[in-house]
């Protein structure tokens, strides 16, 4: 973690202060990203045709987007319900201590819990928001008692169960500029 400003790290504050390392994207880059977000298995020939570039320039752009870290990887999206992981729980966590060591310790501990699929730092009176996927409420109760209550520096946690998933997408809104 970086420097601490009134309890908020520079890393956490970056979205509020603006990120100066944003790469300039033209219309072809944005269209490549739109297509690949929908289907990362599309062939380079198909991608080239869809974005209106020849094969080599399109390939070079994809490689540059990968090198710059805009394309972080390619994954296979799984259906949690079909894998009997249909219970989603959102957990708000408040820590006792907000020093750098406590924050780092908590964040490292969360990495070791496979059921935690997302962990976000938040503004306001809660410090973290976690998304957890489990098979059942009983499994969550066991996880809560065995893992979450023993995480470093946890002062308070509050759980909310999702009743229905209305929207779930991994596609980022790539705007035309």
Q: Residue 34 is encoded by which pair of tokens? A: 């739109």
Of 129, 120, 133, 118, the residue nearest 92 (C-alpha): 129
Q: If you average pLDDT over residues 50-72, what whole number do you get?
A: 97
Check whether residue 58 and residue 117 sit in a common domain: no
Do 135 and 107 reside in the same domain of the chain?
yes
pLDDT score at 20: 55
pTM summary value? 0.80
Last residue of a domain, one of 36, 67, 98: 67
Specify the residue for token string 């870290």: 69
Determine, yes or no, domain membership for 16: yes
Q: How many domains does the chain have?
A: 2
Structural domain containing residue 121 = 81-161
Mean pLDDT of all residues in the chain?
90
Tokens of 29: 């880059």
Residue at 166 is within a domain: no
Closest CA to 50 of 35, 72, 65: 35
pLDDT band at 19 (very low <50, low <70, confident <90, very high): low
């Amino acid at each position: 973690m970086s420097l601490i400003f009134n309890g908020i790290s520079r890393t956490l504050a970056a979205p509020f202060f603006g990120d100066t390392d944003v790469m300039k994207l033209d219309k072809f880059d944005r269209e490549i990203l739109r297509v690949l977000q929908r289907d990362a298995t599309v062939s380079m020939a198909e991608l080239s045709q869809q974005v209106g570039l020849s094969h080599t320039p399109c390939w070079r752009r994809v490689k540059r987007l990968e090198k710059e870290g805009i394309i972080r990887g390619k994954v296979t999206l799984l259906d949690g319900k079909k894998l009997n992981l249909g219970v989603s729980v959102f957990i708000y966590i408040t820590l006792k201590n907000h020093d750098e060591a406590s924050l780092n310790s908590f964040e490292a501990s969360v990495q070791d819990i496979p059921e935690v699929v997302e962990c976000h730092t938040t503004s306001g009176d809660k410090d973290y928001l976690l998304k957890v996927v489990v098979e059942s409420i009983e499994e969550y109760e066991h996880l809560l008692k065995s893992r979450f209550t023993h995480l470093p520096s946890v002062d308070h946690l509050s759980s909310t169960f999702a009743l229905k998933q209305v929207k779930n997408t991994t596609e980022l809104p790539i705007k035309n500029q």
